[in-house]
Structure 1
Amino acid sequence: MGRKILNRVIYVLPIIGVICFVVLVIYGYSKGIFHSVQSLQAFIKQFGEYAVFIFIFLQMVQVIVPILPGGISTVVGMLMFGNVQGLVYSYIGLIIGEIIVYWLARYYGKSFARLILTKKRYLTFEKMLDRPEKGIKKLMIVTLLVPFAPDDLVCLVAGLADLPFKEYMKILLVFKLWSVATYGYAILFLFNRFLIQ
């Protein structure tokens, strides 16, 4: 019974995240927060020295339970702290999250995957598990290189496959930065083009 409720909560969280993001945009426009990058940064930075730690923590959680659509939280960090610093903070949070996902998958196995994935994504997940170690490595590299590919799902697969943690970390540390930077700058471009005048 408890697991069913938790599954529903995890399934509904991304939808709530999108709604919250839309509300935030509307609120931002009404208050002038989104009129410039400077006004948005000033608004978020009022939370002081804890803003960086809160952001990194949210990015970490984002990997396990996707609250916002991929890339949006990274852009928020870029707008808050500047492009380079925002990417670095986002990268740190996401790497920590991916490490946690790997070990949760190792420890709890498929039951953890069932808990956080929809039925459709779980079926995709099971198909990926059939690959040998080299296949998992290649798949992980490709999904990290291609923007908006399901790299979080592949990291979950790596936790259950025979891919050693050392190999997993090598691939993750090298290619995750490219992934974060690519979709971060792509969404930032769209944000600047269509939302901020």
Structure 2
Amino acid sequence: MKSSTGIFKKYQKPIVQTISILGIILMILMAFFIANSGFFANPARVQEWIAGFGSVAPLLFLAITFIQVVIPVLPGNVSTVVGVMLFDIGLGSFLNIVGIFLGSLANFLLARRFGRGFAGYFVKSATYDKYIGWVNKGKRFERFFVISMVFPGFPDDFICLVAGLTKLSLKKFIIYFLLCKPVTLFFYTLVPLYGMHYLYDLIW
């Protein structure tokens, strides 16, 4: 009788592809909603409408953020900006941090469980080849991991997958992530958000 791990390995590629397609559709629908909601004209009204759904709205967004990290279909700063737009800076930032942390933790654990083949499904081969070499660099990878969590321009989601293939302990992964990511995530969310507001005011 085949184990659940063996069955997952056999079907993991179509599973990943299916979830990716669903994620893309979901993100398109979210972008369409934002574009037609009149948020920039009256953000308080849109936030009030979202609040009418009670706890369902933040839980749904948390789930979307988690999926976006595990199955990346858009740059991460897109979903983080949407979170702050819909739930304000306080709750939006909290949901972003929790969702991204849980997704990154899932990436780490999934890569550690299923290996390089699993990690390779989520990025282009050029990106895979560029970063997979860090797997055997020990302490150097730890320093690189911290840098990638602090500065923009790195494929954070994939690097968390790579981290799961290294000897980096789960405890260190959690500590490094929670020390580095929240503050920078907050900063990288506010800059695009205020930039979008500026462009809207400039155009309209």
Coarse TM-score class (shorter-chain normalised): 0.7 to 0.9
Structure 2: give runs of 5+ residues left out of the alignment: 1-9
Relative to structure 1, is the Cα distance of residues 119 and 10 closer, same or farther in structure 2, using a 3 angstrom cutoff? farther
Which residue of the partner structure matches residue 87 of structure 1? 93
Root-mean-square deviation (Å): 2.4
- Residues 46-61 of structure 1: matches in 2 within 5 Å? 46-61=52-67
Which structure's relative contact order is higher, taking Cα pairs within 8 Å and 6+ residues apart?
1
Which residue of the partner structure matches residue 36 of structure 1? 42
SS at match of 1:107: helix
% identity of equivalent residues: 27
Aligned residues: 193
Post-superposition offset of 1:118: 2.4
Structure 1: give runs of 5+ residues left out of the alignment: none
How far, CA to CA, are the matches of 1:14 and 1:124 in structure 2? Answer: 25
Aligned letter for 1:92? Answer: V
Aligned letter for 1:168? Answer: F
User: Given the two structures, how large is their TM-score scaled by the length of structure 2?
Assistant: 0.81
Which residue of the partner structure matches residue 64 of structure 1? 70
Q: 2:174 aligns with which of 169, 182, 192?
A: 169
How far, CA to CA, are the matches of 1:68 and 1:151 in structure 2? Answer: 12
How far, CA to CA, are the matches of 1:62 and 1:71 in structure 2? Answer: 11
- Deviations, residues 70-119 of structure 1 (Å, cap 9, x unaligned): 21211122122221221111101111111111110000001211222222
Which residue of the partner structure matches residue 24 of structure 1? 33
User: Given the two structures, how large is their TM-score scaled by the length of structure 1?
Assistant: 0.84
Aligned letter for 2:161? Answer: L
Relative to structure 1, is the Cα distance of residues 40 and 128 closer, same or farther in structure 2, using a 3 angstrom cutoff? farther
- Residues 1-150 of structure 1: matches in 2 within 5 Å? 5-6=14-15, 8-9=17-18, 16=25, 19-28=28-37, 32-130=38-136, 132-150=137-155
